[in-house]
Structure 1
């Protein structure tokens, strides 16, 4: 039987209610991997024909976390970023995303961007999910079409995030 959006949301909610910190998020990450590995779930919820790149599937009314479907067409690259005072989980449903984790050398201050140096590069492949806790700086790069499920600890739409610039360490 296919994993449903309703069950996925309920599993994420239960994990975060039982353990609201990193341990609960790790359980949510495992649920994201299950969803990304379920072809029916992906076909039903992360549709290649969705109109917008970012599609809100579920927003928890009490805990505030969001389940999003992302569909990117063609090559895309994002600069180093964090998720403000939130956490996020990226789960690869289709295609490959090359992720770079960045070491913060200097935090943003007084309107100036922070400074970061590359720490590690790895690939997210279908069925793999990765947790980024508050303050974790990372950047995705995609060479072709990709689809993913992302969980945000809070809805980040329109939320101000810090800027970072890359330097050699």
Structure 2
């Protein structure tokens, strides 16, 4: 039997309501997400070839305030470092790949501009997931058009979070 979106959302509710540390809960939801990413029925119902770039809400839990979002990411796009503030996000690739980069701040948070050093780089391929807890700084790159499912702890457009600004912040080379 296929693992449906409804199953994933119910499993996520159960996991997120537990009293485990937040990163443990995020990792468990990310593991459950893998079942959706490779399910042909879910993929066919969610994405089609030629679908325009953008994001769509697949599910919102009104009690826990988490979202399941489908993204068509345009090829040739590279994002800047950012965090999800006090919330979290899980990324999962349906097809192709997303290049992920992780960063750490190397100067005191009391200083106005952030100085970031890249700490990791890897690709999320079909069926891969990765969860980023509160405050974790990372960026995404999509060399080709790809389909991504993202699960977030709230509406990230409505909360304060870190976003890299070229005029204020700096990336260290080869750190």
Distance 1:4 1:31, change over 3 A: same
Aligned to 1:67: 68
Any gaps of 5 or more consecutive residues in structure 1? none
- Pairwise mapping of residues 4-153 of structure 1 onto structure 2 (< 5 A)? 4-19=4-19, 21-51=22-52, 53-106=54-107, 112-153=112-153
Superimposed CA distance per residue, residues 114-157 of structure 1 (whole angstroms, 9 cap, x where no aligned partner): 22111111010000000101111111111111101101011112
Give the Å deviation of 1:163: 2.8
Any gaps of 5 or more consecutive residues in structure 2? 165-169
Q: Does the CA contact (< 8 Å) of 2:53 and 2:73 recur in 1?
A: no
Alignment size in residue pairs: 168
Per the alignment, in what secondary structure is the counterpart of residue 156 of structure 2?
coil
Q: Does the CA contact (< 8 Å) of 1:5 and 1:41 recur in 2?
A: yes
Aligned to 2:171: 166
Q: TM (normalized to structure 2)?
A: 0.87
Q: Distance in 2 between matches of 1:50 and 1:84?
A: 30
Q: Distance in 2 between matches of 1:43 and 1:70?
A: 14
Q: Distance in 1 between matches of 2:53 and 2:145?
A: 14
Distance 1:43 1:106, change over 3 A: farther
